Structure 1
Amino acid sequence: MSTPKTIVVIGATGSQGGSVVRRLLQNPSYHIRALTHSPTSATSQSLASKGVEVVSSDVNDPSTLGPAFANAYAIFAVTAYWPSFPTLGRHGAGEEELQQYKNIATAASKVEGLKHFVISTLPSAEGSSGGRIEVPHFDYKARAASWVKEQLPGLWEVTTEFWHGKFPFASLFRSPGSQGAYIVPLPGNHDTLIPYAGDLHHNVGVVVEAIINSGPKAYGKVAVLATDYVTWADGYKAIEKLVPEKRIALSKIDREQFIKIWREWGIEIADQMAWNDEFTDWKALAGERFLVFEELGINEGELVGFHAALEGLKDKIF
């Protein structure tokens, strides 16, 4: 029996990394090394009890990454924008995320024999709109991919980008005096098609495993996790159908009023929705680099789509 190949998973206790770990645990060909800054946490200890090698590492500290990447066959890298957003702001959180990716990629480029570098990024709103629309939690991830391509061409040769669509969860606000109705204020077009990732907790692992298994055919490509394209209106209608005793009304709100309510967070989301209104087709955004599920060997039925994922969230929506 051959020795299992080491797959390093950054963010193994989060939603994306956790999905990758759960999927790869089912594959005896791989040994999983989970990187976390909290190796003694309950989640980390749970992973260790299942045979995962849990390693203490910090993407903000490059000195911890080299040893953590030793002998890696593949690395799955994801960073987190939103935790730093309240303190660093839109661009500050993005700059931090970009530096984290630089730290990760620089360390990965020094791993002898690395066969795959899979990075969780997103399309560039700034680039696709010709600079008219900035969405930092998209743009800095896209800049990270460009940096790898320009500065670490050897690593780029074994790199695959992974874009995931929206997670099907609802932002609902009870309307006072309405006897239990909910209202959803949206600064975007209600009929805009939104790419949904389906069940993110399941699907990410399926796609990332398929990328690693695909080897060279995935190099330089973009795997887009979008199981369904659903409009905002139809998405909330699906929630009403799922929970018929609830009433949901979508309300068009202009950008200034949305920002007045949500402040800097409102700017980020309003700009994302403005970009969504213009750029709905992520396959087109990926262009010739787009990887279809069939190329990755993902069979019909392996991914959990929007409506099935929503069913699983039924008890958490309201």
Structure 2
Amino acid sequence: MTISKDPSHPLIVVVGSTGTQGGSVVNNLDASDKPYRIRGITRDSSKAQATSLSERGVEVVQCNLIVDNADGIRKAFAGATYIFIVTNFWEHLDGARERTEGELMVDCAKEAGVKLLLISGLVSVTNASNGELTRVFHFDAKYDIVQYAKVLGVPYVDVQAAAYMNNITTFMRPAPLGDGTYVVRGIWTPGAKLPYVDTLHDYGLFVRLAIESDEFNRGDGKALSAWSEWVSFEDLCKTVSEVSGKTVAYQQVTEEQARAGMAQSGMPPHAVDDYVDMSKFHEFVWPKVFVETDLSKLARRPHTFKEYCETVDWKTVVP
């Protein structure tokens, strides 16, 4: 459906509209049979992605979502019926900053009188692990943002993303061994299964469900998991091998080896701690606390990992 310009239709403000999660929200709302006006927030409206959104009918607004720009955020959120917000620890590696900027967006959403705030949140790893894993800063910061909305009394839904399928082309990118084969290294055991989502294509499906379903859109703080299937690291690599035509294997490394490799790449110590504790959470805690959203409630079936792999240009990943 064409994105609406009719002022009588709901206005949805999408933070990070040129990014992975926000872009998925725009695309999946655009595919709805319900009419929406969409205002896409981006830090750089001159980007090709922003121009493309504008050509599709999205109102593109340039806004830096930092504490020093509270007035700009208020203006960007003004008149919204729904607001989707997302924060990104990995842009600056500062959990306190992520929390503060997220809480500011919640404040501005409340001032705008939003009908429903869609928060890209996560569980508290500290709480879920009974205090054993306390350094997954980006999970805990997102959890705190959701709790802030709860205390403030903003109507919200917590849309929690599972592991990104596209991690296999980014921080889990297969490393060449020099003989034409590749390896994915991690501290997880080969058979450890994680819930995955094709974030770019499918995360927005769950945000759309939150808006369009009476089960979630009352704003009473329900959590909704964006996922598709559970995949082990061993099977993940087998699928990449099958689709890419290259030999890709999984190799478990020790925590010490992982820490040394990340430190050598320039990752600061607290970010290394985050990654290590996150890996332990993934394997030993997440399977116990992850609540699967009923996928039959979605507008369409989300992609499997194999289907995601079939959308990747593997010549650029494993040349």
- State the TM-score, normalized to the length of structure 1: 0.86
- Tell me which residue corresponds to 1:159: 156
C-alpha offsets along residues 123-146 of structure 1, whole Å, 9 cap, x if unaligned?
A: 221110112112112111111111
Question: Offset at 1:194?
Answer: 0.7
Identity %: 25
Structure 1 unmatched runs, 5+: 86-92
Q: Distance in 2 between matches of 1:105 and 1:310?
A: 35
Question: Offset at 1:102?
Answer: 0.8
CA contact (8 A) 1:172 1:182 kept: yes
- Tell me which residue corresponds to 1:33: 39
- Tell me which residue corresponds to 1:102: 103
- Tell me which residue corresponds to 1:293: 295
C-alpha offsets along residues 248-268 of structure 1, whole Å, 9 cap, x if unaligned?
A: 332221111211110234433
Inter-CA distance 291–166: structure 2 relative to 1 (3 Å threshold): closer
Question: Offset at 1:217?
Answer: 3.3
C-alpha offsets along residues 231-287 of structure 1, whole Å, 9 cap, x if unaligned?
A: 11111111122234x2233222111121111023443322211111212337x345x
What is the aligned-residue RMSD (CA, Å)? 2.0
CA contact (8 A) 1:242 1:311 kept: yes
C-alpha offsets along residues 77-130 of structure 1, whole Å, 9 cap, x if unaligned?
A: 111111112xxxxxxx11111011111000111123x22100001122111011
Amino acid at match of 1:226: W
Matches within 5 A, 1:1-318: 3-27=8-32, 29-60=35-66, 61-85=69-93, 93-112=94-113, 114-133=114-133, 134-150=135-151, 152-153=152-153, 155=154, 158-169=155-166, 170=168, 171-176=173-178, 179-197=179-197, 199-215=198-214, 217-218=216-217, 219=219, 220-244=221-245, 246-263=246-263, 264=269, 265-281=271-287, 284-286=289-291, 291-294=293-296, 297-299=297-299, 301-315=300-314, 316-318=316-318
CA contact (8 A) 1:119 1:160 kept: yes
SS where residue 109 of structure 1 aligns?
helix
Amino acid at match of 2:249: A
Inter-CA distance 249–56: structure 2 relative to 1 (3 Å threshold): closer
SS where residue 130 of structure 1 aligns?
coil
Inter-CA distance 238–285: structure 2 relative to 1 (3 Å threshold): closer
CA contact (8 A) 2:234 2:249 kept: no
SS where residue 33 of structure 1 aligns?
strand
CA contact (8 A) 1:183 1:248 kept: yes
Amino acid at match of 1:207: F
Amino acid at match of 1:210: L
Question: Offset at 1:215?
Answer: 4.4
Question: Offset at 1:19?
Answer: 1.1
- Tell me which residue corresponds to 2:266: none
Moved over 4 A (4+): none
SS where residue 123 of structure 1 aligns?
coil
SS where residue 202 of structure 1 aligns?
helix
Question: Offset at 1:76?
Answer: 0.6
In the alignment of these two chains, the number of paired residues is 295
Q: Distance in 2 between matches of 1:250 and 1:25?
A: 38
SS where residue 21 of structure 2 aligns?
helix
C-alpha offsets along residues 30-61 of structure 1, whole Å, 9 cap, x if unaligned?
A: 10011122123332222112211111222212
